[in-house]
Each structure stands twice: as C-alpha cells, then as structure tokens.
Amino acid sequence: MIQTELENKWNKCLSIIGDNIPESAYKMWFSNINPLKFEDNTLWIAIPSQFVYEYIEEHYVDLLYATIGRVFGSDTDLMYSVLTDKTHNLVVEQESENKRTSSSASSKEPALKSTNKAPQPEQIIAEDLNPMLRPNYNFANFIEGDSNKLPRAAAESISKNPERNVFNPLFLYGMSGVGKTHLLNAIGLRVKELYPEKRVLYVSAHLFKVQYMDAVRKNTLTDFINFYQTIDVLLIDDIQEFVGAERTQNTFFHIFNHLHQNGKQLVMTCDRVPASLQGIEDRLITRFKWGLVAEIERPNFELRRAILASKVRHDGLHVSDDVLDYIAENITDSVRELEGSLNSIIAHATVFNREPDIALAERIINQAIRRAPREVTIDMIIKSVCDNYHVTNEELSSTSRKRNIVLARQVAMYLSHKHVKNITYARIGEYIGKKDHTTVLHSCTQVIQQMGYDKKLSSSISTIEKEILSR
C-alpha cells in the first residue's frame, strides 16, 4: 500500500475514533499516532510512549480494532512501534496484548458515543495548583540522626534537582511516627522555594483512591489522569493504602509510567519495604524499586533527645535535662509519641501549677501514655535462659548433648523465635551454636509440644518471659 493511501485510510480511522470518544481523549491518546506501513494484512502504527501504548491497550483496543477492521478489512492485525527513549530515539516493536474479539473485528462502526466534555491538558496546566503541603514540616525542623541520615540526604538531593537525580522514585519506608510525612512535605516545600514554577502535589494514597473512585463514578477518569500527568513532583503518602485496590493500582501504574518517562519526580512513603506489600501488583512493586528504597528507622536515644531539646528551644519551654532524658529513654518508637508525651507533661504542669519534674513525667508516661515496650533481643533471652538453667553461654552454644543443656538450647531458640522481631530460623541457628534452620524449627516444635504436658517447663518459660519483658 502506497504511503498516501495508507495515510488517507488512517485519517478515516482517526475520524471514526474522534466521533466516538471525547475530544480531549482523542487529542491525548490518538492525535500523535502515525501509520507506518500496511503489509501482510498487518497495520503498523507509531506510538509516542510506552504509557500511551499501555493506556490504549487497556481502554481503547476494542475501538481501535473495530475501526481498523472497518477501514482496512476485518482480518487486519495490529502492531505497535513504541518510542521508549526520546533522547536516543529507541523504538520497541510490540504486538497487541489483547486478541481481537468477533465484536471488535466486525465491520460495524463502534457504538460508543460520549458527550464527556473534559478540559484540555493546557487548561489544566494553567490552573493555580494548591500543593497541599504543611509549612511546619520542613528541613529546618527535621532533626537528623543515624536513623534518617540516608533518607534525608536523598530528599535534599531531590529537592535541589527534581529532574536531574538518580533517586527516582524515592521510596521511604518505616513504622508510623518516624518522620516519613515530615520528610515528604519538606521535599515539596524546598522544591517550591527553589523552583516556584514547578507543579508540586502532596496527596495521601487514601485521597488518591477516593479521587479515582469519584472520577469513575462521574465518568471523568480522563480528566483525572490528565491532571496527574501534569505534575512535576508527585508526593504520595502511605502507599500501602493501595493494597487490594486493583483498579486504583492500575491507573496509578499508568500515571507513574508517564511521569517517570518524562523525567518527573515521584516520592512515596510506606509502612513496609516494597517486597512486603502483599496485594500490590508485581509490576508496581518493581517500579517502586527503580530508584532508591530507604528506611527511616526508629530514632535512637541521641536522636530522641535531640528532638526533645529542639522542641523545647523552639517553643520556649523550661524543662530540666533529667526530664528530657527520662522521656527519651522510655518513649522509643515514635517521634510523634515522643513530642506528644512532652506536650502532655507540660500541659499537666501548667494546669496544676507545678514543675515538670521526674515524678510527673513518670506518672504521665506510665498512665496517660502507653509506655513503649523495650525491644527484646536474642542476647537478653540467652542471658536469662542461662541464668535460669544454670548453664554458661559457651555450653548453650556448644555441641553438648547433656539433657539440661539441650533443653536450655531449645528453650532459647523457642523464645527467640517468639519474641525477637523479624528474626529468621536461620539467624537464630547461626547465633546459637551455628545450627541450621531445620534444627531451630525442630527445637521450637519440641518445646511447644512438651509445654502441653510438662507444667514445670511451662512455669520456667513463663518466668523467663516475665524477666525479659520487664527489663
């Protein structure tokens, strides 16, 4: 088929497609597609990006097949030539992932008619975007320590060069209250300070999901996607909210691809490492790990103390060092709870007209605020087991088959598996006598079974547990 005839037929296809979808959707998805050739009953078309290819395959492939079937013939196949790297002009040839159906291959004109009047992308870009940032969550009051040094360094690098860094996406994870949201907002505030023209948006994953469902209900999904693909720096908080929401994940996948391929920055926070996100599609998990995955760990004592001291200075409070030390020693997990405990102590001291002393701090932390449990370590368990069974650490880790040593070893393995966070059978075995994971698993099973009928063993284990949990 000569090129002029090919272009005429393709223009006829575009005319049919344009009559069946909103003008904004036509301009967004089809106006930049060009025909390449028609050979062996196969139409080759050039697609400007992987994102466009994936979106058309998911939303418009039936319409596309029906149209080319009408114009080129009912048995026409479809091939894409996808531009994957604009800088180096790299193109990948891809088949349609969706096979033609009898309805989509028929010669009938598509029945889809839409009156959706979506705004044009240029209209959306011109809007005054509220970045939804919290001004008090900035770099100036984000206290740095060993637990957050890498995430903070990456965040500052992104803020200075949001389109020219290797940390894209940046995936920050950690337990609740360690400062993920603070750092996320600090990035956005710094970008807006240095690059006022950048379109920056902070949004929780929950709100994104609500917006998506609302767009589906109102038939404005094209508007929704058009809006998000204009963002320069997208900050998504609590990405674990996407778990189980397959359609939301799918839409975010396409938005992610579009932004990433166009050099736009994505930063996400989560309460766990990407590999632990059960209920999130593998293709999204893979993309989360494309840039930098960084953990914001629980703050150590020095950082907790520094955070309290900073808050005292900032708020002009008068709190003694021993009270700050006491709070930092006993509130160990969450920065949010750390600051909350200080606020609570100050409030009680003000209301009852007394000094915020150790006695008041102890009462508030033990009664009004749930005291943070100390983390149980394998060393704590080994020491307590050795003391209770009158064996040495060396004997516990030896190859001795003496009955009391074997029992102590099995109890230590059982309690380590039960009380030490995120420890594997293999790690326990390595720590206690260089045993393999099957030995540790067998020991844990033996102890559980024996506790069912041996009251003396149950009592001794209960005693050890009380010791290690009360330290």
Q: What is the pLDDT of residues 71-84, one digit of tens each?
A: 998 888 888 888 76
| Residue 258, pLDDT score | 92
Structural contact between residues 268 and 172, judged by C-beta atoms closer than 8 angstroms: yes
Q: Work out the percent of the chain whose per-residue pLDDT is above 70.
A: 89
| Residue 445, pLDDT score | 87
Whether the pLDDT of residue 191 is over 90: the answer is: yes
pLDDT tens for 366-384 read: 764 554 456 788 888 999 9
pLDDT-derived band at 173, boundaries 50, 70, 90: very high
Kind and range of the H or E element at 77?
Answer: strand 77-85
Structural contact between residues 45 and 78, judged by C-beta atoms closer than 8 angstroms: yes
pLDDT tens for 91-101 read: 777 777 654 44
Whether the pLDDT of residue 256 is over 70: the answer is: yes
Give the pLDDT mean for 136-147: 88
Q: Kindly list the structural domains of the chain, giving each domain's residue range(s) and its CATH number in brackets, ordered by start.
A: 3-95 (3.30.300.180), 149-295 (3.40.50.300), 301-368 (1.10.8.60), 378-470 (1.10.1750.10)
The least confident of 22-31, 60-69, 279-288, 387-396 is: 22-31
| Residue 372, pLDDT score | 47
pLDDT-derived band at 146, boundaries 50, 70, 90: confident
| Residue 334, pLDDT score | 74
The least confident of 216-225, 265-274, 313-322, 382-391 is: 313-322
The CB density around residue 467, as the number of other CB atoms within 10 Å, is: 16
Query: Tokens representing 344?
Result: 């609570």
- Left (φ > 0), alpha (ψ -120 to 50) or beta: where does 336 sit? alpha
Residue partners of 468: CB distance under 8 A and separation at least 6: 376, 380, 381, 384, 415, 419
Q: How far is Cα of residue 346 from the mean position of the Cα atoms in its chain?
A: 35
